Chains A and B, each alone.
Chain A
Amino acid sequence: MAEFKTMVLNMGPQHPATHGVLRVLLELDGETVIRAKPMIGYLHTGIEKNMEAKTYTQALTMTDRMDYLAPLSNNLVYVGAIEKLMEVEVPPRAEYVRVIMIELTRIASHLVWLGTHAIDIGAMSMLLYCFREREKIIQMYEFVSGVRMMASYFRVGGLAKDIPAGFDERVKDILDTFPSKINEYEGLLTENRIWRKRTIGVGVVSAEDAINSGLSGPNIRGSGVAWDLRKSNPYSYYDKFEFDIPTGRNGDVYDRYKVRLSEMRQSLRIVTQAVEGIPEGPFITTDRKIAPPPKPEVLKGMEELIHHFKIFVHGFNPPEGDVYFSIESPKGEIGCYIVSDGSKKPFRVHFRPPSFVNISALNKLVEGRMVADVIACIGSLDIVLGEIDR
């Protein structure tokens, strides 16, 4: 009767270490994982379907809700795809502010990742420190857009509104305080014996496996593939700034941790360069078929009033066609595929969510390892369930 070999264990969907409603079906032999199968879909809200029923500008607000830890990255990939389709020129001021805000978003997202990943492995205090610093970036969102999380700050052709006075000082304040804080995190973890034991050699992915499984972002760079869309296919003004692509060597949890920490430093470097050079000028395209004219002009001129009315009542009609546009979000390559049929609503929108693709490689990371390592591996992939399920 000694037929029994393996046990199936359900991890989640309500589990504090799965970062949302992820359910993983674990096939175990004692404490060793034989197979892990991620079961997703618990948070599916049909964002892509809903967007087909909204105008292009209205649908923008739904993109925030996908990866809610990096809402501005989602905004940028969506407006970027429409700009590519319509061949809109974005003014330099808007591009500079976009770069600053996107890089701050990257830091904020990595901070949440660091805090939750550390608490999963047992470093309790990290969460509090990381959220303390993240608060500053969240306040920046509120400062520029009026909303703490779902900012929807970017518009097709530029920004929703101009940056308020005092923007530079607040960014510089962040630049002054953050480097020492990142050193503080490193001091707590990098040489920590428990941290090293839990992460070094755990969840190893080779470079070939990473490419084959479609990993992107810090996950692929941890395996030593120096691929970053900001460098390889620059969008916005990324070709104007100097920064390095940190890479790991072994492709384990520890390397991915090191890559993300270095990335935060590189982001600060980009912001330092960008905040010095914000040019004067319009913050959104002057093409009145895409963006409304400034309000004082609307109150004076007839033509401006008509444009204003037309934009808010109707919207704009991109030409027929379909494009794929992708950017480097904090989690990896986020892509947006838009099909336009020439009407004011998108015919089809699809997002290539990095978390969705990254979680599909989970089995490769945890095969043959202990149950406790599954937690470390899920944390190191940096997933957001809102983005996986959409």
Chain B
Amino acid sequence: MSSVIEEKLKKGYSDKIDELYTFRGDLNVIIKPSGLIEICRFLKIDTELKFNFLSCITAADYLGKRDKRFEVVYVLYSIPKRNRVIIKIRVDDGEDIPSLTALWDTANFQEREVYDMFGIKFTGHPDMTRILMDDDWIGHPQRKDFPLTYELPQFSHSRDEIDTRHKAPWRGDE
């Protein structure tokens, strides 16, 4: 089955695809951000593939390991065909990604989580706000340069602590 997907994708979207490989039985497709919506729509409506279910959206931060810092991962599943394909996009800090909310409603919450945890913005998302952290939280916790053991002081009478809040290197864009 994965060879059929591979062929179809290579035929139609070879200019949008960077890499195609199978790892532990799952087909992985690394694509350019500009081709995301097009390729996902094709996978969703193609009568032979029918990837109608968006399982999971997540990301990983490869700070210092890769040129492009983030990898956003989409897991698509086909309920009628019972197979899975993993789509990946590599972006740098500050680059935006098109949102998949127009294709699947389930993208809404999951993209918000990726934004909250990594600071990757999705263009065209109806409600691009934080979901798990407080609205006034500074930084994005799943980034590799966000410290694990230190928590920003929310309330403090110590001048030192208040100062660190303003000087923290992981403050991000807010």
Contact = CB atoms under 8 A, between A and B. Distances in A.
Contact of A324 (B56, B130, B133): B56
B1 interface: no
Interface stretch (B6-14, B79-87, B91-99): B79-87
A326 B148 CA distance: 27
B104 A337 contact: no
Contact of A212 (B55, B56, B104): B104
Contacts of A29: none
Interface in B1-46: 23-24, 26
Contacts of B146: 49
B53 interface: yes
B148 A49 contact: yes
Interface stretch (A64-72, A136-144, A279-287, A347-355): A347-355
Nearest to A352: B56
A213 B133 contact: no
Contacts of A48: 117, 142
A341 B71 CA distance: 14
Contacts of B53: 211, 214
Given A50-B148, A211-B52, A335-B56, A324 B106 contact: no
A337 B79 contact: no
A348 B65 CA distance: 13
Given A49-B142, A49-B148, A324-B84, A360 B132 contact: no
B69 to A, nearest CB: 13
B142 A333 contact: no
B148 A53 contact: yes
B82 A323 contact: no
A333 B105 CA distance: 17
Contacts of A341: 65
B154 to A, nearest CB: 14
Contacts of B128: none
A41 B109 CA distance: 12
Contacts of A232: 79, 82
Given A211-B52, A348-B61, A44 B132 contact: yes
Given A211-B52, A335-B56, A44 B82 contact: no
A356 interface: yes
B56 A233 contact: no
Contacts of B24: 84-85, 87, 321, 323
B132 A389 contact: yes
Contact of A337 (B65, B73, B108, B131): B73
B49 interface: no
A360 B82 CA distance: 24
Contacts of A323: 23-24, 26
Contacts of B105: 212-214, 360-361, 364
Nearest to A209: B105
Contacts of A321: 23-24
Given A41-B133, A225-B79, A324 B60 contact: no
A213 B110 CA distance: 11
B142 to A, nearest CB: 6
Contacts of A389: 132
Contacts of B73: 322, 324, 337
Nearest to B52: A211
Contacts of B65: 341
A233 to B, nearest CB: 6
Given A40-B131, A41-B133, A326-B55, A357 B106 contact: yes
A360 B110 CA distance: 9
Given A40-B132, A212-B104, A341-B65, A333 B55 contact: yes
Contacts of B56: 324, 335, 337, 350, 352
Interface string B114-158: 000100000000000011111000000110001010000000000
Most chain A CB neighbours (cut-off 10 Å) among B24, B26, B79, B113: B24
A46 interface: yes
A380 to B, nearest CB: 18
B58 A214 contact: no
A187 to B, nearest CB: 35
B54 interface: yes
30 contacts: A40-B131, A41-B133, A48-B117, A49-B141, A50-B148, A87-B24, A213-B105, A213-B106, A214-B53, A214-B54, A214-B55, A214-B105, A232-B79, A321-B23, A323-B24, A324-B26, A324-B73, A324-B84, A324-B86, A326-B55, A335-B75, A337-B75, A347-B60, A352-B58, A352-B75, A357-B106, A357-B110, A360-B105, A361-B106, A364-B105
Interface of B: 23-24, 26, 52-56, 58, 60-61, 65, 73, 75, 79, 82, 84, 86, 104-106, 108-110, 113, 117, 130-134, 141-142, 146, 148
